[in-house]
Amino acid sequence: MCPLVSLKSNFEIEITAPTDAETIAENPGAYYGQKVTNYTAGGKTYRIFYVDTEGKFGDKNTIYLKADWTPNYTSLSTYTPSGTDLEIYKKLNPSWAAQRGSSTSSWNTNEEAAAWLCSPSKWTKYCDTSKANYAIGSPPVEMYVASYNQVPHEIGNNTLGATYRATSYPGYIYTVNGIQQNSGYSTNNNTLDYKGYNSMYCGISGNTGDHANSLASPSSSGPERICDVDHYWVALGDPSYENVTNVCPLVALKPGIGVELENEIEIADTETIAENPQNYYGKKISNYTAGGQTYRIFYVDKQNDFGDGANTVYLKADYNDNLQESLSANISSLTANDLAVYKRMNKSWTAQRGNSQSNWNDNEKAAALLSAPSQWTTYCDTTKANYAIGSPPVEMYVASYNQVSHSIGNYTLGATYGAATSYPGYIYTVNGTQQNSGRYTNSNTLDYTGYNSMYCGKNGSKGDYYWWLASPSASDSSRVCGVYGNNASLGTITYGDAYGVCPLVSLKSGIKLIITSE
């Protein structure tokens, strides 16, 4: 029996197809380090390592995969290659090959050991011939630095180099940002990124450790020394090939072979998000990680309501137990831009109170600090963002919430200036009605499960997850608006208490967002 399904009108069908070299090459930061599910030769876990768009290594637009580090302690052998093995060795070490590739009889033992690592005939276990041209023992150093330099890094954000030199012995030396360290034979400690790209370049699972892996290239530091990645010192090094080490096989896929990813990736622009907020709000972004936070799509300002331009995308960081702040009422350090952002983010309050700074209550000053970009630069990647502030303002929070539907907490929220109530600041409404004099909403007003708990709660549950909103409350001169995770409501928090901040980021125009499934 083969059941037939009749889909409802307007139901969108998603089709997953293998990712090709061109797509990866356009956005290496999104794809490098992603786990591949359709290549498992030798029982290894493979990740996208490099796409050779220029044919530098002989096969233009080839996708190269690299196996994860595992404790596969290996004693390297020396080998004088011929035929295809020699051809591949030379292709993958082009600057060395230009000087030494044809003089096999004069090779030092390190050049022979690198040849063994770089010879496909020695690594057939890792070559699925239906999908791959060949596999070798580890990446060559020139490809390693080419891959590393193609993508940004939160740590180890250096430009690496690997060049041929024969001052001591024929082989490679390293540079970091164009400068030789340690005579070029090794880099300084903590040069590399051991966390990003699923620790593909160094480390394991985001940690350093007492291990290393070889690179398939000779070092210039001695006749027995090869290049390697040292996971303990987080550096490129030059050990003796005779040391027991580890290998991370490199695979060159055949032309036309795409990769299937464990985590689906989508690249979205502002217009697409604005047209379909339901599909995008709450989605995790992989290409914005400033301050080490996890960010989600929070709001698209279609009509320039908040002054950063029509269709500005705002990201919000997840609630983080380790990111708690008590607010101050001292605003002497704030800049003119800080105050301008505060006023744009709190329009209805600004219309009544924006120009009377000398009369502001402490809660209005505390909210100003939350809204001041100069105070939250840790969370602003200036290549992608206009600014970051400590938390969303309440007017943006309710605007975002009301743009999408909710399985629970399916209410229309409101936040309006309510000076006549008690103090200058905001009051809340739910479906147009004030609850509790507008100072806080009833329990279970908010959606704490949908949109990856972006609006309230954490991991789909309620709990002691309280966080500020960057707006003064009308309930008291000391109270700022906030989200209560314990009972899923909007409330007020005394500004001197320590509660969560969830930084809000205003993205620059034209920045595309890379969305990775969770």
* pLDDT at residue 9 greater than cutoff 70: no
pLDDT-derived band of residue 191, with 50, 70 and 90 as boundaries?
very high
Residue 292 has a pLDDT of 86
What is the rounded average pLDDT of the residues 468-489?
Answer: 96
| CA angle (503 as vertex; 273, 322 as ends), nearest 5 | 130
What Cα–Cα distance (Å) separates residue 381 from each residue in 11, 24, 86, 271?
Answer: 38, 23, 45, 22
Query: Per-residue pLDDT tens for 424-464?
Result: 999 999 999 999 999 999 999 999 999 999 999 999 999 99
Q: Which two tokens stand for residue 226?
A: 């090869």
Residue 13 has a pLDDT of 38
To the nearest whole number, what is the mean pLDDT of the chain?
A: 93
Helix (H) / strand (E) containing 159 = none
Q: How many CB atoms lie within 10 A of CB 260?
A: 14
Query: What CA–CA distance (Å, rounded) separates 172 from 234?
Result: 18
Helix (H) / strand (E) containing 58 = none
| 225 alpha-carbon distance from chain centroid | 35
pLDDT-derived band of residue 11, with 50, 70 and 90 as boundaries?
very low
Q: What is the DSSP letter of 259?
A: B
Query: Per-residue pLDDT tens for 45-62?
Result: 999 999 999 999 998 899
Domain ranges in the chain? 21-253, 265-516
What is the rounded average pLDDT of the residues 412-433?
Answer: 89
What Cα–Cα distance (Å) separates residue 26 from each residue in 46, 149, 470?
Answer: 20, 15, 37
- Interstrand relation of 35-36 and 46-51 (parallel, antiparallel or unpaired): antiparallel
What is the rounded average pLDDT of the residues 402-422?
Answer: 89
What is the rounded average pLDDT of the residues 455-476?
Answer: 96
| CA angle (159 as vertex; 158, 165 as ends), nearest 5 | 125
Query: Per-residue pLDDT tens for 256-305?
Result: 999 999 887 788 888 999 999 999 999 999 889 899 899 999 999 999 99
Tell me, yes or no, if the pTM score tops 0.75: no
Residue 463 has a pLDDT of 96
Q: What is the DSSP letter of 43?
A: G
Query: Per-residue pLDDT tens for 115-138?
Result: 999 999 999 999 999 999 999 999
Residue 491 has a pLDDT of 96
**224: closest CA among 207, 211, 237, 241?**
241
pLDDT-derived band of residue 421, with 50, 70 and 90 as boundaries?
low
The lowest-confidence range among 5-14, 199-208, 448-457 is: 5-14
Please give the backbone phi and psi of residue 358, each rounded to the nearest 5 degrees, phi first.
-65, -20
**290: closest CA among 424, 152, 106?**
152
Taking the CA atoms of 422, 428, 433 and 437 in sequence, report the sign of the dihedral they define.
Answer: negative
Query: Per-residue pLDDT tens for 65-88?
Result: 999 998 877 788 889 899 999 999
Q: Are 400 and 299 in contact (CB under 8 A)?
A: yes
Q: Are 34 and 47 in contact (CB under 8 A)?
A: yes
**90: closest CA among 77, 78, 103?**
103
Q: Which two tokens stand for residue 447?
A: 């959606």
What is the rounded average pLDDT of the residues 467-472?
Answer: 97
